[in-house]
Structure 1
Amino acid sequence: MTSYKEKKVISIGIVSELTGLSLRKIRYYEERGLITPERIGNGGSRRYSFADVETLMKIAEKREEGVQTSEIKKELVKERNQKQVRNQMIRGQINAHFNIRK
């Protein structure tokens, strides 16, 4: 089941209002691979999650500190990998505790 934070339901206009970032900056961060909105419909409207909004806020803070987008991307990839490893470890512990075999 997908967490509410991960559901892609927010339009780019609302994301812009929530973050204070221009539409152009949001699209730029997408082009740089820092965020990945879902595309829906024939026009390919972008939909973002609450997690994407949080990520955009982190990106904006880092950019204000002078951090380059390439460095931000490296940090984001590292965080995602750590989260995946942590989730796998937790699943393994739960499976071991309840004697669940795959």
Structure 2
Amino acid sequence: MSSESTPYKDKKVISIGIVRELTGLSLRQIRYYGERKLIFPDRNEKGTRRYSFSDIEKLIEIANKREEGVQTNEIRREMNKETKPVEKRMLKEMLRGQFNAHFRNNSNNKPF
């Protein structure tokens, strides 16, 4: 996905210092959540981490769950469960669109 088509919330342009200020988390906590594969910052050419507004929202959500006593591995499992149905639905819609396009162009059959 090119940066021009990336929604502003997903553009990785925010430094870790700003993320710290916005979330109230320590630098160590922010880095730790990245190490635990809960967030995925980009790195610029100098190796500096860059975060998005979506990452900040996710960090706040993670911090709230941690305060409730939820372990990071449970948070990661929950996050994976949330994304998989969306990915499956998108794949199903893409396949349906491909089938419809194929059969509309190659026959008089009704689309699926």
TM-score over 0.5 for the pair: yes
Partner of 2:9: helix, strand, or coil? coil
The aligned residue for residue 17 of structure 1 is 21
Say whether 1:58 aligns with 2:71.
no
- RMSD of the alignment, in Å? 1.9
Shift of 1:61: 0.7
Partner of 2:39: helix, strand, or coil? coil
The aligned residue for residue 100 of structure 1 is 101
Which residues of structure 1 form unaligned runs of 5+? none
State the structure with more CA Rg.
2
Aligned partner of 1:70 among 73, 93, 105: 73
Percentage identity across aligned positions? 58
Normalising by structure 1, we get a TM-score of 0.83
Which residues of structure 2 form unaligned runs of 5+? 103-112
CA distance in 2 between partners of 1:20 and 1:33 (Å) = 20
CA distance in 2 between partners of 1:68 and 1:8 (Å) = 26
Which consecutive segments of 4 or more residues in structure 1 shift more than 6 A? none
Higher RCO by CA contacts (8 Å cutoff, separation 6 or greater): 1
Shift of 1:88: 2.9
Normalising by structure 2, we get a TM-score of 0.76
CA distance in 2 between partners of 1:4 and 1:16 (Å) = 20
Change in Cα spacing, 1:89 to 1:3, as seen in structure 2 (3 Å) is farther
Number of residue pairs matched by the alignment: 98
Shift of 1:38: 0.2
**1:3-43: per-residue Cα shift (whole Å, max 9, x none)?**
2111111111111111111111000101111111001113x
